Amino acid sequence: MKDSSGVVIIFNPDVPSHLKEIETWHSMFISSQSLQDNQYLLIAHHKPGSEVEDGRPPLASHLSRLPVIQSNLEEEPEDVRRAFCRYLGNVVNTMSENREREEMSIIT
């Protein structure tokens, strides 16, 4: 967790305990890192044969602003890949901005 630049949490939305565990993992990273919302990605992975709901899983209110993608690799693997690439782009941009701010603070 130390010096992490992003967090991806993959969970099964059909398992109620996973929704509670997301809160635990999120709070662990918030307490140890100062990550922005776009540096988190929640992937609601559906097992083959399970029904994929289009809506967001019932997450705690403080998690509602985090990006969530529905994952079913049998039916929509390309959608998951594109969403993950966008997430990685957000993380890289945030890292670059943080590095530039750090360099500017050293210069000034």
Q: Kindly report the pTM of this predicted structure.
A: 0.78
Q: Can you give the residue ranges of every domain in the chain?
A: 7-106
Amino acid letter, residue 63: L
Check residue 86 and give left, alpha or beta (phi > 0: left; psi -120 to 50: alpha). alpha
Sheet order of strands, 68-71 included: 7-11, 40-45, 68-71
Tens digits of residue pLDDT in 35-47: 778 888 999 888 7
Geometric angle at alpha carbon 69, from 31 and 92, rounded to 5°: 60
Tens digits of residue pLDDT in 46-92: 877 666 566 677 787 888 888 888 888 777 788 889 999 999 999 99
